[in-house]
Amino acid sequence: MKQLPIEKDTVLKRVNGIQVELAELEKLGRLSYGDFQKEKGFELGQYHLHRALEGVFNISAHILSRIPGGQATKYKDMARNLGKFGIIDKEFAESQLTKMADYRVRLVHFYAEVTPEEVYKIIRENLGDFETFLTAIKNVLEHPEKFGLTVE
């Protein structure tokens, strides 16, 4: 069976979407915690964080679907497989990317338990994890042959 190429335009649209969400999250991160709570920052923070995480795992699923044995149905497994196949640094995949997978599930399925404090903390301290992910994805797009992949 012929291996499918990565659809560069599809991935780049999602990369750009994540960057838009990160810009909005960075604005929210400049608010004081009090203003974050008062000015709809919590609701907006959840929204933009969820959309950025969806982008991460949409890109992950797309790339993994091009790798024999790479597909995964659980978000944590996607994170681990990206490390296993060298798309993302294995340590980053096992630590930060699996935490991102867990948080995506929390935002979607356990949204009533999400607190303003945790969203604010993530916005203030963890947005760099998205940049680490995006840097790795851009590397795959620029040098797909290093990963046994092709791009169209």
pLDDT tens profile 76-85: 999 999 999 9
| Measured distance CA(48)–CA(20) in Å, rounded | 9
How wide is the angle at C-alpha 62 spanned by C-alphas 56 and 67, nearest 5°?
120
Indicate the pTM of the whole model.
0.96
In the chain, what are the domains?
8-144 (1.20.120.580)
| Measured distance CA(124)–CA(31) in Å, rounded | 10
User: And the tokens for 117?
Assistant: 């404090």
pLDDT at 116: 97
pLDDT at 1: 59
* Each residue's pLDDT tens digit, 25-62: 999 999 999 999 988 999 999 999 999 999 999 999 99
| Mean pLDDT taken over the chain | 97
- pLDDT above 70 covers a percentage of the chain that reads 99
Contact 72, 78 (CB under 8 A): yes
* Each residue's pLDDT tens digit, 5-24: 999 999 999 999 999 999 99
* Each residue's pLDDT tens digit, 101-120: 999 999 999 999 999 999 99
